[in-house]
A and B are shown apart, each in its own frame.
Chain A
């Protein structure tokens, strides 16, 4: 059984490798894009790193669902629709949407993707 600290430690290495930041900077509340400088291609790199580090298989769009950025039913006029919120809940059951729900701007979707979300994702995946 892998404990939370071990998962965090491995995630820190994965994110550090992908983004070229120091492992100490990779704290659970850090947003991958805003705080650690991740760009779109880096999400693919992080996915590669996590698959390798934990020996798990991550389906396309499973960890970083792209559909939210493309489907007009999920986002309208820059705001995530009720259908979009349901989609995010289903797609990211390990994400905390409490704050996001108060102001579901599309521009804030990337803020959901924190180091802590990656840890929770891996925990969920390993427990399955």
Chain B
């Protein structure tokens, strides 16, 4: 066998072998500005910053399940959506952390009570809280359509009101949040949304409301798109992730206006992989990352809100909090007064009904 051939073979075998587990904790998240903020807020403030490796992924539980099922777990901590946190926990893809002692708020409030103060009553047992992010409607006051006759949209009902606020609306291509918003726009109180959705009549009602703006919707699927749509005037209002709007306002000199009333607040969790190679170190880091201080710290770099109510208090006391030296609370989706006018997304309902609603929404879009 020639030397060349041997070398090739050696490389071939090496590339097949999985990379061996090191003592470093692998933290998998969405990438981009979001992961950047996690590195600064959790990684750099950790006792041993170099021991945490941040890696991007595309979301979803597909890869998580593949790793756990094959027994070849390479990740330690995964940043997931709330309904995925629930499904992953049920399926045993994530490890149950009920016994972990999470760090209390500065005034001693337990994490559980701290979360309850933000309106989150059920925490997936395999996960630690991260941030609130929201689906929120927004528009560009510098690009104000003349046919609104000077009126400003103030609530989600205006988003659904094409008579008084004519023009196209940007909406995402999946069902989350838009169903809830339709009900709020139809007059359901923000706290009653999921009770109404529990019945099939409630779901029908939401879709009937959606029908009223169907011909006025431009559907987007990438998170950066709604900003372009609004900026270019392709649509007059759009739903978007609030952090994207915040980044445009705080770092790119935009002047987008939020329509907070009727926004849907979503949770975000970090969960421990079942069979994580560096379990203990990972748990230690999760305790650090979910502490009130770390959560508040993150708001210096991105406008997703801390899930722990005490995190908001820290920010309020420390304004101007953003790393550029400006106030951040006005861009934060979960100050107490905003929570009162928002739907707190119910991941349990979505874990239960997600596929049915998604299929229905897909059929609705295509019709």
A and B: bona fide binding partners: no
Residues of B within 8 A of A (CB): none
Residues of A within 8 A of B (CB): none
